[in-house]
Amino acid sequence: MNKLPYMQFFPADWLIGVQFMTMEERGIYQTMICANWECEEIPKERLPFLVGKQWNDLSNEIKNKFIDLGETVINKRVYKDVSAYEEYIEKQKVNGAKGGRPKTQNNHSNSNSNSNSNTITNSISKKPSEIEFLEYGLAIIKQLNKNPDEYEFSLKAKFHSWNDEGWKTGHGKPIKNWKNTLNNTIPHLKPIYNGRIKNSKGAGISDSFAEEIAQGLQSK
């Protein structure tokens, strides 16, 4: 399935995605992702050798990250990344069979191409400041009748994640309208209580670790 020796890793997205997992669950999840990156699917019968547990014994926090295919499982994010890569390779093969990318036919076509490129660049280049991003996000959270103080950390993490990636989503798609994208993202953000991410099990990121992350975000 995958021929790349590496995969994309976004620290901010990772911390948000595993915030409700215990440290043991995070280790199991990461091991399964790496195994899935090296093979097309993970056979359930191999899980005891891979992570020391049967599929049915894994927590829902882990199982929800995978697609259950019956006898095998596949990680949702790995599937999307590899599918995008394979689609890119296929397009390159098609272009190669045609003798490369088609050349512009005339100045008019070239002008249109430049115009479209500039339009996309300009739309992406209208990036918000961190303050503008937070003010807008917190206003939306208030409209949802949620406590803004509990979401400020998650909003900061999302801002720096997108900003560090040149305003692209975790799937590499350019963010042309950051407000619309944020509107769709906010319902999936997790609250943080007094600097600590909690769940029903009481597990989460420690106060000191959360403080280190916050200081890292502030230093950018």
* The pTM of the whole model exceeds 0.75: no
The pLDDT tens digits of the residues spanning 139-153 come to 888 888 888 888 888
Task: Give the mean pLDDT of 99-104.
Answer: 57
The pLDDT tens digits of the residues spanning 47-64 come to 999 999 999 999 999 999
- In this structure, of 20-29, 109-118, 147-156, 162-171, the range with the lowest mean pLDDT score is 109-118
- Cα–Cα distance for residue pair 18/214, rounded to 1 Å: 17
Domain ranges (residues) in the chain:
1-103, 124-218
Answer with the residue of higher pLDDT: 78 or 104: 78
Q: Which residue has the tokens 């995958």?
A: 2
User: Which pair of tokens denotes residue 36?
Assistant: 């899935």
Q: How many CB atoms lie within 10 A of CB 163?
A: 16
Q: Which residue has the tokens 């899935």?
A: 36
State the DSSP string of 22-89.
Answer: -HHHHHHHHHHHHHHHHSSSEEGGGHHHHHSS-GGGS-HHHHTTEEE-SSEEEEHHHHHHHHHHHHHH
Could you tell me the pLDDT band of residue 183, with boundaries at 50, 70 and 90? confident
Answer with the residue of higher pLDDT: 170 or 58: 58
pLDDT value of residue 58: 97
